[in-house]
Chains A and B, each alone.
Chain A
Amino acid sequence: MGGTGAEKPTLIRWEERGGERVAVRIDGRLPEQLRPIRIEVGVLGNADGSALVEYGATRVLAAVYGPREAVPRHVALPDRAIIRCRYHMAPFSTEERKTPAPTRREVELSKVIREALESVVLTEMYPRTSIDVYMEVLQSDGGTRTAAITAASLALADAGIAMRDLVAGVAVGKVDGILVLDINEVEDNYAEADMPVAMAPSLDKVLLLQLNGVLTHDEFIKALELARRGILEIYKLQKEALRKKYVEVETSTTG
């Protein structure tokens, strides 16, 4: 959207496939196709919970510390845990080096991600404590905030923190007039719209919703539906990754 000085690449090609004309994206995906997603849970030794999530080349690491004593004391709440949340991009994660100091963008994203997590974490079970969620974008190729929230909810689950549901996120974009799922960086640079969405999939609740760009009412309805479908797919992968970790634990202790 910012538009770069370079010439705009062809983002959508039309191909004949089985007698039908289909739109093919710059990375070969169909409009409603996710990138290859890889999820790994419990990747860090020190954290109480952690997860690594990859959406194509986008790679985000999340770690959870807590529930632990809230410091300074005055920030603690008597009836619930507070959530402290940081979304941060590594300086080397982007095309041009990103300053390690928090930018206005990171401040905003830390806020919307925290607010999304607040409604799934059963904070009332851990009064006077702090649950700290740290997300580091190691490599950025579009959709980093949604990958970050997917990773954060897995890290919370891995830390054994009680939750109403997992959270899965994905961004839908409008590229050359076509709605595409799981927008990547090149597409985002020239997109007419980029809409990150995160949901609690089994509760059918929307926890994060932003729209950068312009959509008609009809397009918005379709884009939200497309996001929901993508989120349900990612949710399956999340549960698989969590189960896989416990299967490993089980076999290692009994076997």
Chain B
Amino acid sequence: MIAMSITPSFQPVMPKLKRYTMETLLARGVRLDGRRLDEIRNIEIVPGYVEKAEGSALVRLGHTVVLVGVKTDIVAPFPDTPNEGVLVVHAEFVPLASPTFEPGPPDENAIELARVIDRSLREIRAVALDKLVLEPGKHVWRVFVDIYVLNHDGNLFDASMLGSMAALLVTRLPTPVKTEEGYRVDRTKYTMMLPINHKVVSVTLAKISGKLLVDPTYEEEQVADTRLVVAVSDDGRIAGMQKTGMGSLDYKEVLTAVSIALNKAKTYLNKLEEVVVPYRAKLEEELSKQKKEAEETAPPPPVPRREHLEAETIEQPEVVEGAVAEEEEGKEPE
């Protein structure tokens, strides 16, 4: 990992004429691609893009493409949060996404992006980590959110945030199977949807010659003085914030930017409602159907008799339904 943060010396060339055109157009409230200052580009979300992942989503925001995958496993919780699952957010700026990305470990930009998204999800408890406990202090679910930037045309923050939220919304937890040492994960069968408390999206504003633009393109980011990322929850609260990039914002500009962000967040949230929430409902229905079928077709559970218990040699792995290990009540031998 690089020990220092250094002024970037490799900057793609931006023709002066283009910069000038951009600034002149902005003065009239128009952008190079014809958008209004507060207009978000076309959004497309493909939930479940990677079938092998527990949850995934491909997000297109204009020409920016981000793929987010969610994988899970079972680990010991952190000692200071024994009653909570673990959430890990990681971002890769893969070199195929932009001429400015190089292979290698995540640089400061990728680390910053992952950390901002992590905080925005964590602080408001977007994922109900308290419901991901198999055995308090011993075994909990760990949820990995891996962000893969595939094509960089600006505003990686909003696209990645939207992709992360969409992927988490369509995440199904596999089956935990109790073993002697702890648990193993049976990924051939899902048991439940990942419990979600809040939907969070982010709205990024760029400042160019004194104007605030929502959802900047790569070209706009090159010209911008600075950017402000504002994470907004589905109940209209601010779930996180980060000023990123050189340059400054006037005190009043910060207030204006936050108001715009709170307002524009609806565009992203509506898209989640429109595309991802129905997909989640469909998966949920499938799960409950499977559960029902399994109950109907499966032979009635063998009624254990006390004298047979010790003699029984064929141990059936105990399948825990749901993340919270619930003891199957009842079915006492007559």
Give the residue of B7, B237, B241, B250 whose beta carbon is less than 8 angstroms from that of A205. Answer: B250
A96, B245: Cα distance in complex, Å: 32
Give the residue of B236, B237, B238, B250 whose beta carbon is less than 8 angstroms from that of A206. Answer: B250
Residues in A190-204 with C-beta less than 8 Å from chain B: 193, 195, 199-200, 203-204
Contact of A110 with B by CB under 8 A: yes
List the A residue with the shortest CB-CB distance to B3: A102
A208, B189: Cα distance in complex, Å: 47
Q: Assess the B248–A119 pair: CB atoms within 8 A.
A: yes
Residues in B1-60 with C-beta less than 8 Å from chain A: 1-7, 9
A213, B243: Cα distance in complex, Å: 15
Question: Knowing A75-B9, A111-B5, A114-B7 touch, does A119 contact B246 (C-beta < 8 A)?
Answer: yes
Interface locus among B61-69, B252-260, B321-329: B252-260
Q: Assess the B119–A212 pair: CB atoms within 8 A.
A: yes
Give the residue of B80, B238, B253 whose beta carbon is less than 8 angstroms from that of A216. Answer: B238
Query: Which residues does chain B contribute within 8 Å of A247, judged by CB atoms?
Result: none
List the B residue with the shortest CB-CB distance to A114: B5
Q: Assess the B245–A211 pair: CB atoms within 8 A.
A: no
Determine how close the nearest CB of chain B comes to the CB of A29; give it in whole angstroms: 24
Question: Knowing A104-B115, A118-B247, A207-B248 touch, does A214 contact B9 (C-beta < 8 A)?
Answer: no
Query: Which residues does chain A contribute within 8 Å of B249, judged by CB atoms?
Result: 205-206, 209
A87, B249: Cα distance in complex, Å: 23
Q: Assess the A110–B108 pair: CB atoms within 8 A.
A: yes
Tell me how many residues of B have a C-beta within 8 Å of chain A.
46
Q: Assess the B255–A209 pair: CB atoms within 8 A.
A: no
A207, B253: Cα distance in complex, Å: 12
Q: Assess the B237–A85 pair: CB atoms within 8 A.
A: no
Contact of B82 with A by CB under 8 A: yes
Q: Assess the A220–B258 pair: CB atoms within 8 A.
A: yes
Contact of B284 with A by CB under 8 A: no
A220, B231: Cα distance in complex, Å: 13
Q: Assess the A210–B79 pair: CB atoms within 8 A.
A: no
Interface locus among A1-9, A32-40, A50-58, A140-148: A1-9
Q: Assess the B251–A211 pair: CB atoms within 8 A.
A: no
Query: Which residues does chain B contribute within 8 Å of A75, judged by CB atoms?
Result: 6, 9
Centre residue among B7, B80, B226 by max chain A CB count within 10 A: B7
A216, B262: Cα distance in complex, Å: 10
Q: Assess the B80–A112 pair: CB atoms within 8 A.
A: no
Contact of A25 with B by CB under 8 A: no
Q: Assess the A84–B5 pair: CB atoms within 8 A.
A: yes
Q: Assess the B248–A4 pair: CB atoms within 8 A.
A: no
Question: Knowing A83-B7, A84-B4, A86-B3 touch, does A199 contact B251 (C-beta < 8 A)?
Answer: yes
Q: Which 5 A-B pairs have the closest CB atoms?
A: A211-B241, A110-B5, A82-B7, A205-B248, A118-B246
Q: Show 12 residue pairs from A and B whose CB-CB distance is below 8 angstroms, ordered by the A residue.
A: A75-B9, A82-B7, A85-B6, A112-B112, A115-B226, A115-B243, A119-B247, A207-B248, A209-B241, A209-B243, A211-B242, A216-B237
